[in-house]
Amino acid sequence: MVSRLIAAMLLGLVAWGTVALADPLRVLSWGGAYERAQRKALFDPFTEQTGLEVEVHQYDGGLDALRRAEAPWDVIDMTRSQAMAACQEGLLQPLPHDLPAPAPDGTPAERDFLPGAIGDCALTHSLFATVVAYRPDAFPGRRPSRIADLFDQERFPGPRALQRTPAVNLEWALLSYGVPREELYRLLSTPRGLRLALERLGELEETHWWEAGDESPRLLVEGEVVMASGYNGRFFDAVVNRGAPIEILWDAQVQEHETWAIPRHARHPEAAREFIRFATTTERQAELARHIPYGPARHSAAIRVSTHPGSGVDMRLHIPTHPLNAERAIEKDETWYAHTLARMDDYFEAWLATDGCLISVNEPCPSP
């Protein structure tokens, strides 16, 4: 009863109208093409409607910044696996489940959003994918068609760029052995599975490890690598807005929920909830998908996705959830990552520190 009363009071604050702020609403997001799309579809319209200025800060993911005693943000855009881990650590404020607005036709939010989108501490707004992109001019007469081609440097020679994280890289490495998708996380939960995945990654020659989301498209465009992992929206931006000579390999795309969350020490939690309610309406989600091809978390928004405002490209064909793109997709096991995030990150960094030679976190390979 008490929790229901608190939730009703929180929603009441939102319903009463805009919260007056003396300073801007601080949002932590991912920069680059993604932030530009958010600025046009979410931040500027929110300011126009409420009068509240939005100040955007950039990060590359992770929980280290949140663990600081006084993280200076009001809203954070974060992957669901990291939001789940942060929630378990008590780093985020709980969100009332009835915070999101109903669909335009009155459908309740819990029926309009994808299953699992409304969490205890985070609300999914989009689905993005980590994919592989490549330069067609690097492989005359042939094209990569399966994720195993990422690891085949005989048929597809040249340097690669991969994100500096165990996530996605481990899944792709096991898939290259022919491991079924439904067995990936069971096998990764064993020492043998983790060893096999890291061995496959270690076989790659000249790997560039990127961290910022706009780095992998840049490496491809500038010809420093011939294949690279990255976010599908960043590659789309490079192709459509900059004419980059790259193509996306949709095989084994790894889909993940992107969420809005409020840090435990947010200075303006009421305004943060007001922003999240605004940014997750059907209209705003559909508009965001017009600027960058991430799948809306609401059914009512997905059917409204239309064309890119600058090029006229049909955005429905470029979102990860389109049937043609999602045919062989992997849905990231975010619960598994939420429970293993710190351990897997430590193990992966230790593996990198030993130049790809590691028996266990505290036991590097013996010297020759």
- Tokens encoding 144: 């990569």
User: How far apart are alpha carbons 304 and 270 in whole angstroms?
Assistant: 29
Tens of pLDDT, residue by residue over 147-162, are: 999 999 999 999 999 9
Tens of pLDDT, residue by residue over 197-212, are: 999 999 999 999 999 9
Residues of the chain with pLDDT > 70, as a percent, come to 90
pLDDT at 302: 96
pLDDT at 13: 42
Residue with tokens 């999101």: 100
Residues 6+ apart with CB under 8 A from 164: 209, 210, 211, 352
- Tokens encoding 100: 């999101």
DSSP assignment of 256-306: EEEEEE-BTT-S-HHHHHHHHHHHTSHHHHHHHHHHS--EESBHHHHTT--
User: Which pLDDT band holds residue 365 (cuts at 50, 70, 90)?
Assistant: low
* Beta strands 122-134; 247-261: pairing state: antiparallel
Q: Is 221 a residue whose pLDDT tops 70?
A: yes
b vs e for 275-292, b when ≥16 Cβ sit within 10 Å of the residue's Cβ? bbbbbbbbebbbbbbbbb
What distance lies between CA 304 and its chain's CA centroid? Answer: 22
- Tokens encoding 37: 């799309």
By three-state DSSP, how is residue 127 classified? strand
Q: Is the pTM of this model over 0.75?
A: yes
Q: Is 163 a residue whose pLDDT tops 80?
A: yes
Rounded mean pLDDT, 158-184: 96
Beta bridge partners of 154: none
Q: Is 122 a residue whose pLDDT tops 90?
A: yes
Max Cα–Cα distance, the chain, nearest Å: 70
By three-state DSSP, how is residue 140 classified? coil
Tens of pLDDT, residue by residue over 69-115, are: 677 999 999 999 999 999 999 999 999 999 999 999 999 999 999 99
User: How far apart are alpha carbons 57 and 26 in whole angstroms?
Assistant: 7
Q: Is 49 a residue whose pLDDT tops 70?
A: yes
Looking at beta carbons, which pairs linking 46-53 to residues 24 or more positions away fall under 8 Å?
Answer: 46/275, 46/278, 46/279, 49/278, 50/18, 50/274, 50/278, 51/18, 52/18, 52/19, 52/21, 52/24, 52/25, 52/271, 52/274, 52/275, 53/21, 53/24, 53/25
